Copies of this chain bind each other. A is one copy, B any other.
Amino acid sequence: MRYELYYWPTIQGRGEFVRLALEEAGADYVDVARRGARGMAALNRLLESGKTRSFAPPFLKTGNQIIGQTANILLYLGPRLGLAPKSESSRLWAHQLQLTISDLVDEVHDVHHPIASSLYYHQQNPDAARRAPHFTRDRLTKYLNYFESILAANSRGSRYVLGRNPSYLDLSLFQVMAGLRYAFPRTMKKRAADYPALTALAERVSGRPNIASYLASSRRVPFSEYGIFRHYPELDR
């Protein structure tokens, strides 16, 4: 089964959560829009037509089916890639946590774009500077405390969030930690000691053979000030 992933070619963004799952599983996939202008044209075509077109990338094409929304793509891929738990209740729980990660990602984006995603950062940086401390002090702390406590409560004695085997959720938490460290290095360094379980999990994921080789490859788009996790020192005080 060959998967076609459609996402913006120059950023990690929301597509990265899907890329990591496909890479960990060694799945047969194509990152379509990274294949040049024809790939981008294909992305735009699927975005603009069809009964089940998506509101925005990422979306995944498999056979005739197109699936959009990051967490929904992982809900679909998880069992097929061996990256989801078996029971329905555990799958809902994993999906719930993935949706909470989506919420955090939205808030991270809006730190640098509080007014409009259609404006540049420099057109809204006074607002961003007002939003940032609320994020780093209150919201980020609330999210990380939540995931740290969930991790501690669920993985007792296990290596991954849901038990002995890694799931897409572990990959997503790795990505969140990597992104936060890129965007808010000062804040994250100061708080590292508060999140031993998340820190250890991120380390463990980055050391998995397929992930390590992906991260070292040119398939991993670098973090930058075009993506969701952006480093602006003035927002990381």
Residues on A lying within 8 angstroms of B by beta carbon are 51-55, 65, 67-69, 71-72, 75-76, 89, 92-93, 95-96, 99-100, 103, 106, 110, 114-116, 118-119, 124, 127, 130-131, 134-135, 138-139, 142-143, 146, 150, 153-154
- Contact A127 B115, beta carbon cutoff 8 Å: yes
| Shortest distance from the beta carbon of A51 to any chain B beta carbon, whole Å | 5
Complex interface: chain B residues within 8 A of A127 (CB): 114-115, 127, 130
| Shortest distance from the beta carbon of A90 to any chain B beta carbon, whole Å | 10
- Contact B116 A131, beta carbon cutoff 8 Å: yes
Q: Give the dominant DSSP class at A's interface.
A: helix
- Contact B51 A72, beta carbon cutoff 8 Å: no
Chain B residue at minimum C-beta to C-beta distance from A99:
B69
Bound Cα distance from A142 to B130, whole angstroms: 28
User: What copy number does this chain have within its complex?
Assistant: 2
Complex interface: chain B residues within 8 A of A96 (CB): 52, 54, 67-69, 72
| Shortest distance from the beta carbon of A77 to any chain B beta carbon, whole Å | 11
What are 23 A-B interface contacts by the 8 Å CB criterion? A51-B150, A51-B153, A52-B93, A52-B96, A55-B146, A67-B93, A68-B100, A69-B99, A69-B100, A72-B92, A72-B99, A75-B92, A75-B95, A110-B110, A114-B114, A114-B131, A115-B127, A115-B131, A116-B131, A116-B134, A116-B138, A118-B138, A127-B130
Complex interface: chain B residues within 8 A of A68 (CB): 96, 100
Q: 3 nearest interchain CB pairs?
A: A116-B134, A69-B99, A114-B114
Bound Cα distance from A134 to B123, whole angstroms: 13
